Amino acid sequence: MAPSYRTQAQDSSLVLFWVATALLGIYAVTVLAAAIPLELLQPAWIERVCGSVRGGVSFPLLAVALLLLAAIVNDSPEEPRYLTVIRRLACLIAFGFCLMIPLQTWAGVALLQQINANEQAQLRPYTRALTAIRNADSQDALLQALASIPGSPSNLSGSLKDSLPQVREQLIRQIEPQVSARQTQLGALQSSRLQEGFLRWFKDAVVAFFSAIGFAAIGRFAEDRPTLLSTIIDRRPPIQPLQPSVSLTDRLAAILPRRQPQRPRQPTVPLTARLSDQLIGLFRRSQSQRPRRPEVSVADRLKALLTRRQPQKRQLQNRLEDLMPPDPNDD
């Protein structure tokens, strides 16, 4: 009977899981072997460990990818616990690779300086002996200077066949070219090491940077959150479109205040005319603000006029009667 699809998925997931575990184990053993014995803060130890971590970085990247694939093949409703822990750890590893860039560069520079200093220390006895031979003013001082050269016998004795200046000049002509050639060789060797070091440090920095990108693409701090690389990319500000270039005259015209167009001058008006216009305007406004009386017909007006004049007529008749003498015929 053929196995079901579910059984095949579980078997494939199990195979992927153990292959990933083997890759992680190989990588861990390699790094631990490079780190033993512990020599913290030593440039040679730091460079050795960083080289081991950086050289085998493809093993953990491939292992975590296989673990993700195993979880997909298994089709589990939730992410396995071990995979959640590994993805959280991948975030820290990404930061670690970013810190490795300056650390391994410092270790490489310090180690190169130590090598150069050791070579200069090996050459220093020859330069000191050459200086002592030049300054020798006696046979004993000259023999003592010769004895200070590395590899020469320490108990030199006897008398000189020639005079001291001649022997000193012969020794200087024999030793000085060798010392100068050695110094030139060391200078060229140090320059070549520095150039090779720059290329190596740049290559190591690029490898560490892309390793950090790989782990950042895998790692995340929670199941409901995006990966570290997605979070970093989404936080970048949007790229603004390029604006057309503006000339200097246009910029100055935009900055400096613009001149207002001059208005045409109005003809001057005499003061009396302006006052009369203002008074007429005030009078018209006051007239317009008065309440309008209701309209009265002509008949009503005549009737009111006659009504007002009747008492006056009576009063006038009474006054005339008082002024006139009494009529005798009335008796």
Query: 25-36: per-residue pLDDT in tens?
Result: 999 999 999 998
Domain membership flag for residue 121: yes
Tokens of 288: 């317009």
Tokens of 295: 């309209």
311: pLDDT confidence band, cut at 50, 70 and 90?
Answer: low
Domain membership flag for residue 255: no
Domain membership flag for residue 214: yes
Measure Cα distances from 118 to 113, 175, 180, 326 in Å: 9, 21, 18, 169
Q: Does pLDDT of 152 surpass 80? A: no
Number of domains the chain contains: 1
62: pLDDT confidence band, cut at 50, 70 and 90?
Answer: very high
Q: Report the pLDDT value the prediction gives residue 210, as an integer from 0 to 100.
A: 93
Tell me which residue has tokens 């460079």.
47
Q: Does pLDDT of 313 surpass 90? A: no
> How many C-beta neighbours within 10 Å does residue 154 have?
8
The number of helices, as runs of H, and strands, as runs of E, in the chain is 10, 0
Domain membership flag for residue 187: yes
pTM, rounded to two decimals: 0.59
Q: Report the pLDDT value the prediction gives residue 189, as an integer from 0 to 100.
A: 86
Q: Which residue has the higher pLDDT, 317 or 194?
A: 194
Domain membership flag for residue 327: no
Tens of pLDDT, residue by residue over 222-281, are: 777 888 888 888 765 544 554 555 565 666 666 655 555 555 555 565 666 676 777 777
SS3 content of the chain, % helix, strand, coil (to 5): 75, 0, 25
Candidates 47, 53, 52; CA nearest to 115 is 47
Q: What is the average per-residue pLDDT within 96-108?
A: 91
Q: Does pLDDT of 2 surpass 50? A: no
Q: Does pLDDT of 1 surpass 70? A: no
In our burial notation (b when 16+ CB lie closer than 10 A, e otherwise), range 224-258 reads: eeebbbeeeeeeeeeeeeeeeeeeeeeeeeeeeee
* Cα 154 to Cα 158: distance, rounded to the nearest angstrom: 13
Q: Report the pLDDT value the prediction gives residue 331, as an integer from 0 to 100.
A: 44
Calculate what percentage of the chain has a pLDDT beyond 90.
20
Tens of pLDDT, residue by residue over 289-302, are: 655 555 556 667 66
Tell me the pLDDT of the chain averaged across its residues: 77
Domain membership flag for residue 146: yes
Q: Report the pLDDT value the prediction gives residue 28, as an integer from 0 to 100.
A: 93
* Cα 140 to Cα 130: distance, rounded to the nearest angstrom: 15
Domain membership flag for residue 240: no
Give the list of residues 6+ apart from residue 199 with CB closer than 8 angstroms, or none: none
Domain boundaries, position 179: 5-234
Give the list of residues 6+ apart from residue 106 with CB closer than 8 angstroms, or none: 43, 46
142: pLDDT confidence band, cut at 50, 70 and 90?
Answer: confident
Q: Report the pLDDT value the prediction gives residue 174, as an integer from 0 to 100.
A: 79
Calculate what percentage of the chain has a pLDDT beyond 70.
68
Domain membership flag for residue 304: no
- The single-letter DSSP state of residue 287 is H
